[in-house]
């Protein structure tokens, strides 16, 4: 019988997205390398593996901009497992040697994996032994899978154009047009259902391995969805759209630590008053889907549930937006009443008002404390210092949206951002005074701060465990290229990293409760 961790227990874990795993096909996936990483976590007595959203990515390959709030990324399906199942041959997996094993080449990965997924589907259709399980999966997930599969098939048919550019009857979802499309594109619809079925099979295999080792999985729920997505196409009344289906207002953040003009994300805003009428049914389905995969989940941009930054869609930047109310208490009351207790993490970073903190605390959601924000001019800097932490929080050295700890510490001001050279110098001096070292291993200095703090949960980005610099940064907000590409190399998490992480985990009382770890 395995022990499943809780955010209420003292523990630690690692932040690593699945795409950042090594592997033979240009991108990390749910195959053998994911299971090897589970072994690393187990040997280091870690209790949590935190990931980014797993969705089918849209523009910019961002996991936070998906064409479905439910569907898994096809690139994460393991071709090696499809070969084991007899759906691919060894010869079909040759010829895709990584040119740069330290980076994801998304274009190359799609070009290699998609044709092989199609070959696997053709073979799957030729045999009947898996049909019962497949049919059960399709029926169980019909609430989102039918729209996603039809949307994806139509998008292929329309050469990738946004749904707002489709013929009017399809854009407006005229029932007769949808029935005709389903008849005409049945084979292609089945292909996208098959991908999601295999994703689910491979995910269950990984989830079971984690549970066997007592490792919990932390997912990520982006508050907004992409405009060009199955969700908005299938539910236009839930979003602020004009008569052609285009957004009238879009989401983002006001000017802050990351950007002097704010961030214009471009996601359409929700009509919360419409969603409230049916008890937020769309969201209930979304939370249910998420917690079928994960043990806990980070609520991205938690601030938006209290208030969100509304930007006129015509504006090129976020500078002239205004705040509009979010759904607040009623939303979480409805979700928790329907689904019961959920382990939710409030991503309470940015312009956090007393009202946001009060909303978080009324539901006892743990918030986030980021050590990189503790030593400079961030308005919340004092709350990010370890002596001010509550027990009910998660501490991170950094997040996916800022530099690695080594890159941040050695920043000379040439990478942009809002800090000037004098602020960088004073911030570095503050760090060194606090940690009491010379900073030669600043990543381990901050990891130690995180682990020795009273925070129940300490999560360390994989790049910081390896002491990597700015080249390993995952995402630079406000930029459209070069993000989400970092991968570690096979052998990076060797015995030295295991031993050091395990030692620190034991010293500061965060060792996993599973016997044998």
99's tokens: 């040119």
**What is the rounded CA–CA span in Å between residue 152 and residue 173?**
14
Closest CA to 376 of 414, 413, 429, 415: 429
State residue 241 phi and psi, 5-degree precision: -130, 155
CA distance 203 to 290: 12
Residue 13, beta-bridge partner list: 48, 459
Contact yes or no for 164/244 (Cβ under 8 A)? yes
φ, ψ dihedrals at 312, nearest 5° = -55, 130
> In angstroms, rounded to a whole number, what is the distance separating the alpha carbons of residues 427 and 403?
15
**Residue 122 to residue 82: CA distance in whole angstroms:** 12
Q: Tell me phi and psi for residue 265, to 5 degrees.
A: -80, -35
Q: How far apart are CA 343 and CA 83, in angstroms?
A: 36
Contact 393, 366 (CB under 8 A): yes
Which residues are catalytic, by number?
Answer: 300, 347, 401
Tell me how crowded residue 501 is: count the other CB atoms within 10 A of its CB. Answer: 24
216 within 8 A of 4, measured Cβ to Cβ = yes
Question: Nearest Cα to 313, choosing from 246, 391, 401, 245?
Answer: 246
Sign of CA dihedral 149, 154, 156, 162: negative
Q: Are 405 and 372 in contact (CB under 8 A)?
A: yes
In angstroms, the CA 406 to CA 403 distance is: 8
Cα angle value 469/441/434 (rounded, 5°): 110
Cα–Cα distance for residue pair 126/97, rounded to 1 Å:
30
**Structure-token match 């004009």, residue found:** 242
* C-beta separation of 386 from 449 below 8 A: yes
DSSP labels, 318-331: STT-EEEE--HHHH
Residue whose structure tokens are 């000037």: 420
Do residues 457 and 394 make contact, with C-beta atoms less than 8 angstroms apart? yes
Between CA 253 and CA 256, with CA 254 as vertex, the angle to 5 degrees is 100
Evaluate the CA torsion angle 133, 135, 138, 139 in order and state its sign: negative
């Amino acid at each position: 019988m395995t022990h499943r961790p809780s955010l209420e227990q003292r523990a630690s874990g690692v932040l690593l997205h699945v795409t950042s795993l090594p592997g033979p096909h240009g991108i990390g996936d749910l195959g053998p390398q994911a299971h090897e990483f589970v072994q690393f976590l187990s040997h280091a007595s870690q209790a949590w593996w935190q990931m980014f959203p797993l969705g089918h990515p849209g523009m910019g390959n961002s996991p936070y901009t998906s064409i479905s709030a439910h569907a898994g990324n096809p690139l994460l399906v393991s071709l090696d497992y499809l070969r084991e199942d007899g759906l691919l041959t060894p010869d079909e997996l040759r010829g895709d040697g990584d040119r740069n094993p330290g980076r994801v080449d998304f274009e190359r990965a799609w070009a290699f994996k998609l044709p092989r997924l199609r070959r696997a589907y053709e073979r799957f259709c030729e045999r009947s032994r898996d049909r019962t399980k497949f049919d059960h999966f399709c029926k169980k997930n019909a609430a989102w899978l039918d729209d996603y599969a039809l949307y994806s098939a139509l998008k292929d048919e329309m050469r990738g154009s946004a749904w707002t550019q489709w013929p009017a009857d399809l854009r407006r979802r005229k029932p007769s047009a949808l029935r005709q499309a389903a008849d005409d594109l049945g084979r292609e619809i089945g292909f996208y259902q098959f991908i999601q079925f295999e994703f689910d099979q491979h995910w269950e295999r990984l989830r079971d391995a984690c549970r066997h080792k007592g490792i919990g999985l932390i997912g990520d729920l982006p508050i907004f969805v992409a405009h060009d997505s199955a969700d908005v196409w299938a539910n236009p009344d839930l979003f602020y759209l004009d008569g052609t289906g285009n957004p009238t207002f879009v989401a983002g953040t006001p000017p802050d630590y990351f950007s002097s003009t704010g961030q214009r994300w471009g996601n359409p805003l929700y009509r919360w008053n419409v969603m409230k009428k049916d008890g937020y049914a769309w969201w209930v389905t979304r939370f249910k889907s998420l917690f079928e995969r994960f043990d806990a989940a980070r609520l991205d941009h938690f601030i938006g549930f209290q208030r969100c930054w509304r930007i006129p869609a015509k504006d090129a930047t976020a500078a002239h937006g205004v705040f509009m109310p979010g759904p607040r208490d009623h939303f979480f009351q409805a979700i928790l009443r329907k689904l019961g207790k959920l382990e939710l993490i409030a991503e309470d970073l940015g312009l956090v008002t007393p009202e946001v903190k009060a909303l978080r605390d009324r539901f006892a959601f743990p918030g986030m404390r980021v050590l990189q924000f503790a030593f400079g001019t961030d308005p919340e800097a004092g709350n990010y210092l370890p002596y001010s932490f509550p027990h009910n929080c998660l501490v991170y050295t950094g997040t996916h949206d800022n530099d690695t700890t080594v890159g941040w510490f050695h920043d000379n001001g040439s990478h942009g951002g809002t800090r000037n050279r004098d602020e960088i110098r004073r911030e570095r001096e503050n760090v060194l005074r606090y940690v009491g070292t010379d900073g030669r291993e600043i990543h381990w200095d901050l990891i130690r701060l995180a682990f020795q703090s009273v925070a129940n949960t300490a999560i360390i980005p994989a790049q910081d465990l390896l002491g990597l610099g700015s080249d390993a940064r995952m995402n630079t907000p406000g930029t459209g290229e070069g993000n989400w590409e970092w991968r570690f190399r096979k052998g990076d998490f060797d015995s030295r990293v295991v031993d050091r992480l395990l030692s620190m985990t034991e010293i500061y009382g965060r060792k996993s409760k599973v016997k044998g770890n």
